[in-house]
Each structure stands twice: as C-alpha cells, then as structure tokens.
Amino acid sequence: MMSIKAFTLVSAVERELLMGDKERVNIECVECCGRDLYVGTNDCFVYHFLLEERPVPAGPATFTATKQLQRHLGFKKPVNELRAASALNRLLVLCDNSISLVNMLNLEPVPSGARIKGAATFALNENPVSGDPFCVEVCIISVKRRTIQMFLVYEDRVQIVKEVSTAEQPLAVAVDGHFLCLALTTQYIIHNYSTGVSQDLFPYCSEERPPIVKRIGRQEFLLAGPGGLGMFATVAGISQRAPVHWSENVIGAAVSFPYVIALDDEFITVHSMLDQQQKQTLPFKEGHILQDFEGRVIVATSKGVYILVPLPLEKQIQDLLASRRVEEALVLAKGARRNIPKEKFQVMYRRILQQAGFIQFAQLQFLEAKELFRSGQLDVRELISLYPFLLPTSSSFTRSHPPLHEYADLNQLTQGDQEKMAKCKRFLMSYLNEVRSTEVANGYKEDIDTALLKLYAEADHDSLLDLLVTENFCLLTDSAAWLEKHKKYFALGLLYHYNNQDAAAVQLWVNIVNGDVQDSTRSDLYEYIVDFLTYCLDEELVWAYADWVLQKSEEVGVQVFTKRPLDEQQKNSFNPDDIIHCLKKYPKALVKYLEHLVIDKRLQKEEYHTHLAVLYLEEVLLQRASASGKGAEATETQAKLRRLLQKSDLYRVHFLLERLQGAGLPMESAILHGKLGEHEKALHILVHELQDFSAAEDYCLWCSEGRDPPHRQQLFHTLLAIYLHAGPTAHELAVAAVDLLNRHATEFDAAQVLQMLPDTWSVQLLCPFLMGAMRDSIHARRTVQVALGLARSENLIYTYDKMKLKGSSIRLSDKKLCQICQNPFCEPVFVRYPNGGLVHTHCAASRHTNPSSSSPGTRT
C-alpha cells in the first residue's frame, strides 16, 4: 500500500464552545446544511453553529464555528438524529422515538406540533418520487416490529403514504426513489415499496457488529459486508464496483468522490473507489460519528466536531506524479472527470498525461511514454527541447509553464550515461518519424524534420538519405551546418538539391569524387552525378559539368546526353550539333553519341550517318595499322561499320568510296558498290577478291530485302553468271555455283539456268536443284489450278442466283413507292435489290447501298 495525502483533519467545534465545563455532555449526532452546523447532545440540546471557512494558500482550509443558538427540546432523552430539510426551512429531530419539526433558524417547534411518532431511526429520500417541491419524503424504521413507514413531511404537517412489512427486524435503512436498501437482522435486501418486490443481497450478522447502509449516488449504496469489506450494490441487486477492504470494526462510512472513508475505534481510513486501494490512514480515537454532507465530510467524538478537508484533486495528482506513481495518478485523474467541467478537465487531463509521459520517458519506458505523449497531444517540441541543439536556432518555442518535468536537458536526465542517452535518441528518432506525417506535426514540421535530420546525421542512420529524397521541411541553414559538422557531404548535396540549389549540390559531389572532401556514403558517386545531370533540367548546369564527367569516363559521361528523358528529348532542348561540337575532344564519347542519334533515335540526317561511318572507318584503319591492335576489337568496330553501311541509305556513298581507296577493305567496298546499284562489281569483289562465297550469297539476300521477287532473282542469276564465267578450270567457283543452286533452288528461273549450265555437268550433281525447281513449278501450277477452280465455282453460284432472281415476276404500279426517295414510279424502269426492294434507277446510281440494310445489295 502506498499512501497519499487526500484529506486533512481540522477542528470545527471545540469542546469548550459546545459544552463549556459540563463533563457529562456528549455529542450524539450532527447535521450540516451549507454553512449551518447543528449538533445534538445526550442532554436533549440542539446547538446551531455558523461555519466560516478560511482558505490558507499553503495548506488546508481552517474553520471557525460561531454559536448562533441552542435549545432544549423538553425531553430527558438524548437527541438521536438530525436531518435538515432546507427547502422547508425545517430541521427533523429524532428524540425519544419521535421526529419533531423545528425551525432551522430559531429552533422553535412548528406551531402545529406536527411530528412522527414511533420512529427508531429514519432516512430522507434524496431522489424523491412525489414531485412536490414543498415536501420531503421520510422513511422510518418503526418501533413496531418488522415495519417500515413512508411519510411526506410538509412545513407544518406530516402524512403517512406507505407501510411495509419485512421478514426480519430492520436495523438500518437508506432510500433512493421507490427503492429501500435495508439491513435486516441477518442480511441486506433491496425492496421496491411501489411494487413490493424484494431482492436479497448478501448475508450479514448484526450481532457481531452494527450494519452500515449508505446511499452514495443515484441508485447505488455502500454496505458494511462480512469479512471487513465495504460492498457496493445497485437497486438492481448487482455491484458495479469492486469492494474495498476496510477494518473489521468499522462503525461509520462516508463518500467523498473518489474516496470511501471509514471510521473505526482508532483510525480514519481512506480507500479509492477507482482502484480499491487504501490511500490514507489518519489516527482518530474515540470517534463515533462519520457523515458526509453535500461533499463535506464531518467526523465527531463525543466531545468535538472535526472536518476532513480534501486536498484539491489536482494537488493529489501532482503529488502522485512527483512520487512517480503514474498509474495511480492517471486513475485518479480519470475519476475526477465527474467533478470538473468538461473543458477544464480536458486541459487538465492532457497536461497530466504529458507529465506522466515524461516520467515514463525518464525511466526509459519508451512504449508507455509514447502512448501517453500521443494521448496527451504533446507539443513534440517539448520533447525535442530536452535534446541539446536539436531545435532550430530560429525556433521561437518556449517550454510549458509550469514545466512538465524537472529536467534541464538529456544530460541531466541520463546523468551523463552514454548508453541511456543513445537509447533516448533512438526513441526520439522513432517517435519523430511516426508523428511527422500526422496532425501532431501541424504548425511545426520544420522543427520536427530538422531535429530528425540532426539525429540521423549524428547516428549515421540509413534513413537520413530517405528523409532528404522525400518531401521534408528541414531548415536549410541549421541542417546544412549540422551535416557539414558530421561530414555528411553527400546528404548535404541532397539537401541543396531539395532546396533548388542544384549547382551547389553538384559542386559538392564533384569535390567528393575529386577527393577534396571525404565522404564514403556512395561508392558510385560519379555514376550518381552522371545520372543526376542526365535528368537535370538546367542546361547551363549540364554544360558546366559536361567536360568534367567526360574527362572521368567518356563512355559513362556521354550518358548525360544519350540517356536524357524522352519528354525532354521531344522538346529538343539540347541541339545535337552543339553536343557534337563539344564531343570533338572525346572520340569515344562522340561515337557513342552518334550511335545514339543514328541507331537509337533513328534521325534521318545524312551528316550524322556519314560522320558515324567515317569515325568507324578511321577506327578500323587505326586498328589495322597498329601492330599491337587487338583483333577482336577491330572485328567488332568493323562489324559495326558493315552493319551501318548495309542498313543506312543516308550516308554519302561516293565520299566513303573515295576514303576506302587503297584501304584494303574489299567487303566494305562491295557494300558501297551495292548501294550504288553496281551489283555485278560488288559480287565480283566478293567472289574474286575475297573469295567469300557465303558473303556473296548474303549480299544477294540483304540487297533484295524488301524488294520484289524479280529483283532477288536477278541478283542470284548475276552471282551464278560470275561463278560460271570463270571458266572450266575454276573448280572452286564451280563447286560454289552448284552449292548456290542447290541451296537456293526457288530463287532461280530453272529454264534460264539450264541454258547457262555447262553440258558436262551431270543430273546427279544438280539433283537437289532440279528437285526443288520441279517441286516449286508443280506447286505453282497446282496453286493456279485451285484458284481457277474456286473462281469458276463462285461464278457458277452467282449465275444461279441471277437466273433465280430473273425467274420471278415483279408487280409494279403507280402506288409502289421508291424505298429511297419515297416517290411513286412514273415509268416501268427500276432497280431491284436482292431483298425485294425497288428503287428508281437514278436513286440507285446515287446510292449503292440497300435501303433496308446496312450492307450493299446486288441489283437485278
């Protein structure tokens, strides 16, 4: 059990003020109504005091009682009970089993002498059902055995309204509406005197200790249960709260929300109704009265009256927080909702949640702290301000006053423990990352993102780059200085870029690549710069660093021109001629760029095609001339040259032929002659100079690509003629001619070939050619026959349909209308459609579609 100071016991009426030097006078009962305090004694006196409350700034309030009046009731019995009915200005006094009505001011009995006789004890119905504001409802336990009576009490009269019999003798009663909560001899019950229905609650032995029945709220009662338990019960017979465990010898109980206060022989104990824990114990001997009156708790001995002054709930909560008892403080704060206006409570509760969050944070309970910060809608700058130098220098933030915590900064909180400090920084990183995209960040996103950047940079966290390449509100001045301090130059470049300072960003990255500053964030920073410039829209910036990237690597650097986005290429923002002029100093880059123009973009400009071919040619010649030239590389460049010469029709053929004179490149010469239509000369080079028969066949194929069959046939016949005109001694050419015929039989006119062949060649030698030619000839003839047959069949069908239509009669009258113009026929000349529709000849001439159908009809 952990204690809390919830109440302070202060004296209200001293013994001397009440009874002077009368030793035998004892207090029997008390009643309080506003500032009016009434005391009943054993010598049948009623005393009236006026209470003055004096607040003390640094402590609990004090009370001063001023005696107003005292009156003897004329009996020799003690005053057992007092109850004030302020609406009637009456005090109900139980003495000698009789309830009298006296004036609250002068304590005089009412002139009518109205009273209720035969009452052992009584209770007022604080939830009346009569609806009459000028009467109070009183429930008495009658001196008659097992009897309860209900009365209406007016200013000067009383009226009985109900009498209820019970199974056992009732000992104590409390009333709420039509419900009576009764302590019988052996048990507690709830009885509805309107319906007569009773419900047992739980057993209780009245012989061991007196029962307690206390109404604590609408339709809810507090009862002294067995085993020293304070039990709660509703009129439905159920308990909505857990019981409190108080002393076995409790003689009185009261409620001052959220506390249950119990009195025994030696102590006053205070339990919370919210968590059922005992919160405070006050020594108090010889006490025998404990009652609450409209929120004021009064306790009395036989000689004096005291008041339990509650500490303000806010003070109690702050005391709990100061003791690091977060859960108790939050439970108490939630329970205080019913006693505080809504708006004031919300403000107070948010602050309490924030304070609790900082307590949990200081104990490194980060999950709990985060939830409390969120629930309390903490201004996240309160948390950031704990970390030195994280808030921007331009921030106007000042901490809450009074402060939410006792720490100057993180160093004080962690007492210099670096491990704890690192944990706190990791928590702040996580928390800021979560809240930066929520409503919590509204209004101070710059502070949050700048702090997050500083944390990431200091911790060398991977998320630093993610923060800078996405939408952020990092303040440039603070962030730049911090990144430079921690040597995060690449990240600083990203920050410059995000703030539209691309020139500063690129210069910084160039310095890293050049080794002027050290930053190992990216090992491929040069490629990153090239990629950045490729997508950069600032032409001046690209031109400014074009030479630098090309000097580092021509093949990679040229990508700033060759891999620009398609939409920018369509705008033609970079003039190719300007780029070519720039690349003259970089031959490899120039070749790559011209390849991009000619092959990738397929620009139809003679200058680019010729320039690329010349560069290829120069490279080939250079490689051939170099004794240490790599054959594979020369072959690759030569293959590119041949491909370009074959595929392109835009370069200057004659110019290239002149450059090829004496260069020893017969294949390229042959291709160029082919471009000029000099096929025989080209084939002669391939056959006689190169003796590359497969190349000659390929030449015939690519030269005839996309051309009509006769052109291809002519090329193959020309090649065959070159093979055959070499003379009978050229054995290799004869073999090549045979192979040509046998491989490409369908490309030749067989009849013409047979006339060209030497008489000495055997049929067996040309068997594949002859078989292919025969098969092709037969296939062609049969295809023609099939087509002819199909045409005849179709014609026969049309002829039949026509005769069928001519065989039917057509009736034409002046009432028949043309289906196109809707006018009658004036002469027996018309056009008839297959569906039977008739139209004028001139209408049919102007419209060739069926008037009743979307498809054309055939006229008959």
pLDDT of residue 343: 84
Beta bridge partners of 181: 174, 190
How many angstroms from the chain centroid is the CA of residue 242?
40
pLDDT of residue 754: 79
pLDDT tens-digit readout, 823-842: 998 888 888 887 778 899 88
Cα–Cα distance between 823 and 387 in angstroms, integer? Answer: 99
Q: Which residue has the tokens 């009452």?
A: 119
pLDDT of residue 734: 81
Q: Residue 855, SS3?
A: coil
Q: How many CA atoms lie within 13 A of 438 on its CB side?
A: 11
Backbone angles phi, psi at 160, to 5 degrees: -80, 135
Cα–Cα distance between 748 and 720 in angstroms, integer? Answer: 10
Structure tokens at 213: 């029945």
pLDDT tens-digit readout, 585-595: 999 999 999 99
pLDDT tens-digit readout, 56-101: 776 777 888 888 898 998 888 999 999 999 888 999 999 999 999 9
**Cβ-Cβ contacts under 8 Å for 2 (sequence gap 6 or more):** 277, 323, 325, 328
Q: Residue 510, SS3?
A: helix
Cα–Cα distance between 693 and 716 in angstroms, integer? Answer: 12
pLDDT of residue 125: 92
Q: How many CB atoms lie within 10 A of CB 241?
A: 17
Average pLDDT for residues 558-581, to the nearest whole number? 83
Beta bridge partners of 115: 100
Residue 853 has pLDDT above 60, yes or no: no
Cα–Cα distance between 770 and 780 in angstroms, integer? Answer: 15
> Band of the pLDDT at 570, cuts 50, 70, 90?
low
Q: Where are the domains of the chain?
A: 255-310
Cα–Cα distance between 411 and 685 in angstroms, integer? Answer: 89
Structure tokens at 603: 């620009």
pLDDT of residue 57: 73
Q: What is the mean pLDDT of the chain?
A: 87
- Provide the total of helices (H) and of strands (E) in the chain, helices listed first: 31, 30
pLDDT of residue 610: 93
Name the packing angle between helices 631-647 and 666-675 (round to 10°). 10
Question: Order of strands across the sheet with 27-33?
Answer: 27-33, 36-41, 45-56, 59-72
pLDDT tens-digit readout, 309-360: 887 777 777 777 777 787 777 877 777 777 777 888 888 888 889 989 999 9
Cα–Cα distance between 512 and 526 in angstroms, integer? Answer: 9
pLDDT tens-digit readout, 25-43: 889 999 999 889 999 998 8
Domain spanning 255-310, CATH class: mainly beta
pLDDT of residue 349: 85
In whole angstroms, how far apart are CA 60 and each of 66, 104, 256, 311? Answer: 20, 29, 16, 7
Angle among Cα 134, 135, 139 to the nearest 5 degrees reads: 165
Residue 851 has pLDDT above 50, yes or no: no
Q: How many CB atoms lie within 10 A of CB 65?
A: 21
Q: Hey, which bits of 166-286 come out as E strands?
A: 172-176, 179-183, 187-192, 197-203, 213-217, 220-225, 229-234, 244-245, 252-256, 259-263, 267-272, 278-283
Residue 192 has pLDDT above 80, yes or no: yes
Residue 741 has pLDDT above 90, yes or no: no
